[in-house]
Chains A and B, each alone.
Chain A
Amino acid sequence: MDVKLSENKRVDVLSPVSLKPRRKGFNVMPMVFIGPHMLLFALFFLIPIFFGVYISFTNWDLINTPEFVGLQNYKEILFNKESTFYAQLHTGLGNTFKFVVFTVPACIIIPLMLAAALHVKPKGSKLFQAIFYLPVLFSISAVMIIWSMMFNVSFGPINHYFSSAPNWLGTQPYAWVALVVVTVWWGIGGNMIIYQAALNGVSKDYYEAASLDGAGRIQKFFHITLPSIKNQLLFTVVITTIAQFNIYGQALMLTKGGPSSSTTVLLMYIQQNAFGSGQSIAGIGSAMAVILGLCIMAVSIIQFFLLREKK
């Protein structure tokens, strides 16, 4: 009886009837559903990317037709040590990397700690969850205006309450501290929500078993919690890194790239070259953007390989 059943199944799978949908070939329905997205994706993502890469091989002022110059822009920014654009790429990329190194760990650890704390469901946890999440909803300009007032030398609350007097936004290392603090504060909510959801998914049985074995809170955190939410961690690390590589608004509005270009990030140079107040140098700007894109890709791939599950 059993055998017969399975034989029936086999036959069914191989029968021409079951292959019918495949033979019919193109199924319109899925295309209809992803169509609008694909269209927007192509329009606002794929086409601009290809166009941007193309522009990086040209000399273009945004007005006349782009003139193809091959790899000249890349040669200029990567190898011509005398060139201003070489220096810009160097400084800009260096500052961008610094910013990533400073912010990404904090943007992972602090939300994780807050999520773990909220997970215990202390009194008022919903309220705190809302408070921590709130900054994510603000626009970058609003956040930067608020914080530039907070850090203001003469009437800012930070200097007032700490009875300190550093020029937070105009001297180092305070400028970096300010940028990191603001960025972390602004972005806590996004990652925290992901971690909260992940923590809810971890089975309580593990913790009970660990308790029985005499594991402490810290041991539980490192041996149960962290491994259980590994995938979410990987996801947030990659996404946060990419987001921080694209730093622009904070440095532009808060420190204006200063003091002495020490917080001028690459996107600021790219913007100024392509859409500055002088005539556009879109080719060089595009080439810098391509280099930045490649850096982000490389770093993401490395992170992915380092953090993925070892099988």
Chain B
Amino acid sequence: MNKKVRVIVSGFVLLVLLLSLGACSSKSSSGSAGGKNEIVFWNPFTGPDGKNMKMMVDAYNKTNPKYKVKNISLAEGDMYAKIPTVVNSKRNIPDLNIVHAERIKQFVDKDMLVPMDDYLSKYPDIKAENYIKSGWDIGSLNNKRYSVPLDVHSFVMYYNKDLVKKYAPNALDDNIVTYDEIKAAGAKAKKDKIIAMPVTWMKPTFLSVYSQMGGSITSDGTKPTLDTDKAADTLKLYNDLVKSGITNKDGQDAGQTFKSGKAIFYAEGIWMQNDVKSAKNLNWGMTNFPQLSDDKNKMVNWSSSHQFVLLKNPERDKKKTEGIMKFIDWVKDNSLPWAEAGQNPAALATLDNPDYQKMPQSFLVKDATEQKSLKIFDYKYNGYVSEQLDKIGNDTVFGKLDIHKALKSAQKTVEDKIAQDK
């Protein structure tokens, strides 16, 4: 009797276990992640911008398309860790994906993306003329189109209107604030314990100034060029600003300083707009990132871009892909919610909207010279360079690390990492 009970109980437990496992595997082995008429759309928008993306997707689904979009926002790090895994296993591959512009070259190199040319022929409006140039160009490799841009987001400069009036009344006349003007304003404001400009994110700062100096992070698209005189001059420029006491001190919160009215200028991304807005009693404006010269044609504003791509997926059939193109085409004409998240939509159609024209970040898109200044740092090994810049940026600028030594080690690290790519 006892034995029988045992056998029955154990048999039951085993059965439940097997069944539950079976359920797991059958769910994940369906190949494509989406259902038949569903476009599974992965994106890295987990911040407040995620809400705006969801709004857009919901609005699209309300138009009753044959293929509805299922919006899945993943933390950026998780998403980029997941992509190789799903592509490798050929399971749960999203139908549509947003990735950063800098990743595309590497993804194409690894043969992970599907070219869109065949499908785009049905959507003639998805073409260069209708998008911001730098955002559009990045998706074209080996004469094939691998991506369509959603936005171009730039690292610009906010300013405190009241303080500008007081310490740098003419700096903004041409909408270009030069480093000389910043230094002069800082010298004037020092006695009132107001700083000119706190040091913020050094990666885009470095890339922007380095490029203004005529430097480039790669000489031939493969070899990194970080250990150069121009790179040293770039870091030295900021090191000097720190030394002259017109920036924040090491460790002091830059955003807090600006928002509490203790800094005249504040270099940050356009995506930080809602944060700056949250500061009460702050009368602020937005302009170009600081420049070395006031020549408009030499202007550089560091930018990146979110791009729609199709990861290789044997299960995504032609009809579904056409459904995806329909969504991308719809986004082109309905990007206003994305602008409301603080971004600049890559599709120029949004420019016709008066609401968008009133938004501070739209100055970057309105005129052609500004558009030309939006530089995306497109280099296959951009990720390695970014990591090094994040590592040495603050330490060198605040004098904790020797500039030449730091650049030398950054150069060597990137080279060694590239050498592993066999």
Chain A residues within an 8 Å CB radius of B385: 278
Q: Mark A16-46, 1 if CB is under 8 A from B, else 0.
A: 0000000000001101100110010000000
Q: Is the CB of B77 within 8 A of A275?
A: yes
Chain B residues within an 8 Å CB radius of A35: 13-14, 17
Distance between Cα atoms of A6 and B422 in the complex (Å): 76
Q: Size band of the B side of the interface?
A: 35 or more
Q: How far is the CB of B404 from chain A (nearest CB, A)?
A: 14
Q: Is the CB of A284 within 8 A of B383?
A: no
Q: Which residue of A lies closest to B383 (CB)?
A: A278
Whether A171 touches B250, Cβ cut-off 8 Å, given contacts A35-B17, A258-B395, is: yes
> Does any Cβ of B come within 8 Å of A257's Cβ?
yes
Q: Which of B106, B387, B422 contacts A276 (CB 8 A)?
A: B387
Stretch from A103-111, A112-120, A152-160, A300-308 contacting the other chain: A152-160
Chain A residues within an 8 Å CB radius of B249: 153, 167
Distance between Cα atoms of A29 and B80 in the complex (Å): 44
Q: Which of B17, B80, B420 contacts A59 (CB 8 A)?
A: B420
Q: How far is the CB of B174 from chain A (nearest CB, A)?
A: 34
> Does any Cβ of B come within 8 Å of A132's Cβ?
no
> Does any Cβ of A come within 8 Å of B382's Cβ?
yes
Q: Is the CB of B417 within 8 A of A278?
A: yes
Q: Is the CB of A84 within 8 A of B84?
A: no
Q: Is the CB of B87 within 8 A of A63?
A: yes
Q: Which of A29, A36, A154 contacts B252 (CB 8 A)?
A: A154
Distance between Cα atoms of A144 and B413 in the complex (Å): 29
Q: Size band of the A side of the interface?
A: 35 or more
Whether A259 touches B85, Cβ cut-off 8 Å, given contacts A61-B421, A154-B253, is: no
Chain A residues within an 8 Å CB radius of B167: none
Chain B residues within an 8 Å CB radius of A57: none
Q: Is the CB of A84 within 8 A of B416?
A: yes
Q: Is the CB of B400 within 8 A of A277?
A: no
Q: Mark A143-178, 1 if CB is under 8 A from B, else 0.
A: 000000000111100000000000111110000000
Distance between Cα atoms of A283 and B422 in the complex (Å): 12
Distance between Cα atoms of A35 and B21 in the complex (Å): 13
Q: Which residue of B lies closest to A258 (CB)?
A: B395
Q: How far is the CB of B37 from chain A (nearest CB, A)?
A: 30
Q: Is the CB of A171 within 8 A of B400?
A: yes
Distance between Cα atoms of A281 and B414 in the complex (Å): 12
Q: How far is the CB of A247 from chain B (nearest CB, A)?
A: 18
Distance between Cα atoms of A168 and B250 in the complex (Å): 10
Q: Is the CB of B110 within 8 A of A275?
A: no
Distance between Cα atoms of A106 and B146 in the complex (Å): 55
Q: Is the CB of B384 within 8 A of A259?
A: no
Those of B98-137 within 8 Å (CB) of chain A: 106, 110, 112
Chain A residues within an 8 Å CB radius of B420: 59, 281, 283-284
Chain B residues within an 8 Å CB radius of A67: 422
Q: B interface vs A, CB < 8 Å?
A: 6-7, 9-10, 13-14, 17, 77, 80-81, 84-85, 87-88, 106, 110, 112, 249-253, 256-257, 381-387, 391, 394-395, 398, 400-401, 409, 412-413, 416-417, 420-422
A-B contact pairs, 30 of them (CB 8 A): A28-B7, A32-B14, A59-B420, A61-B110, A61-B421, A62-B84, A63-B112, A64-B110, A85-B416, A152-B253, A153-B253, A154-B253, A154-B257, A155-B253, A170-B398, A171-B251, A257-B391, A258-B395, A259-B395, A260-B401, A272-B387, A275-B81, A277-B80, A277-B387, A278-B383, A278-B385, A279-B106, A279-B383, A279-B421, A281-B421
Could you list 8 further interchain pairs (A-B, Cβ under 8 angstroms) beyond the known A276-B383, A277-B386? A28-B6, A61-B110, A84-B417, A153-B251, A154-B257, A155-B253, A277-B384, A281-B421
Counting from the closest, the 5 A-B pairs by CB-CB distance are A278-B383, A167-B251, A277-B383, A153-B251, A84-B416
